[in-house]
Amino acid sequence: MEVVIAPGPELGRLAASAIEQLVREQPDTVLGLATGSSPLAVYDELARRHAEHDLSFARVRAFMLDEYVGLAADHPERYRNVIEKEIASRVDFAPGAVQGPDGLAEDLVAACAAYEEAIASVGGVDLQLLGIGTDGHIAFNEPGSSLASRTRIKTLTRQTREDNARFFGGDIDQVPQHCLTQGLATIMSARHLVLLATGRGKAEAVHQLVEGPVSAMWPATILQHHPHVTVLVDDAAASRLQ
Ligand code: F6R
């Protein structure tokens, strides 16, 4: 596990550079996209490089980490819509190249299985962007998640719903109770994991991720078993590292 401590704006550029290098070497790269605040600087930087330096995503396919269950198709916080707004609409992905778990499917269990098959059918994810929750979740694998889990339905913890209420006008009651999320084993199948974390609120989770014992109670600690992980953190998020 490589840990890089740098100022916030630099972190976005570092992650964007890893993606740019991969996409230029291998134009049909498969990317894993995260939502939330952490990857926004990366998406801004990729959009800039697309506009100013001809970085093309025309042959790239991308898979999202997770999706809320039951948010209306046009809800601005539906993760498909967030990804469309923050990155897909700003670069040149081919139609249908960005996929996510279908939180509106009638059969959610079948939708999870289909999503795993879709990822496997393109040979897996080359580079997966990740954030981390204050409770150590990655994607929506909350504490207690099986370290061997695959894409499935999960119940969001009150902590995560409180953390995400800021996207729903500060009203926790508007935050869905359930989600579909790639499992920890799904994430571990990606070839390179790039995790971003900023701010003091992430310091304990980053400490556990890097220095804690591997435990389902801090799901991100499973990344210690991955051969190629880059952790990009600012000073505040790194403040509890030994
Ligand atoms: C989002 C996701 C979550 C977030 C995490 C951190 O797709 O999978 O694990 O990465 O909740 O969120 P932010 O970046 O908003 O602090």
Whether 66 is catalytic: yes
Tokens 């960005």 belong to which residue?
A: 98
Do 141 and 183 form a contact (C-beta atoms < 8 A)?
Answer: yes
From 31, 35, 140, mutation site for ligand 1 pocket: most ligand atoms within 8 A of C-beta: 35
Q: What mean pLDDT comes out for the span 160-184?
A: 96
Domain ranges (residues) in the chain: 2-233
225-240 tens-digit pLDDT? 999 999 999 999 999 9
Band the pLDDT of 209: cuts 50, 70, 90: very high
Residue 105: the pLDDT is: 98
Map residue 30 onto helix, strand or coil. strand
Predicted ipTM of the assembly: 0.99
Q: State the distance from the centre of ligand 1 to the C-alpha of 131, rounded, in angstroms.
A: 5
Dig out the tokens for 65 from the structure.
Answer: 């980490």
3-class DSSP state for residue 134?
coil
Q: Please give the CATH architecture assigned to the domain spanning 2-233.
A: 3-Layer(aba) Sandwich (3.40)
Ligand 1 atom nearest residue 66's Cα: 7
Catalytic residue, from 45, 67, 102, 142: name it.
Answer: 142
**Ligand 1 atom nearest 199 alpha carbon:** 16
Over residues 47-96, the pLDDT tens digits come to 999 999 999 999 999 999 999 999 999 999 999 999 999 999 999 999 99
204 within 8 A of 134, measured Cβ to Cβ: yes
- What is residue 49's predicted lDDT score, i.e. its pLDDT? 98
Query: Which residue's CA lies nearest to atom 8 of ligand 1?
Result: 139
How open is the CA angle 65-158-102, to the nearest 5 degrees?
A: 30
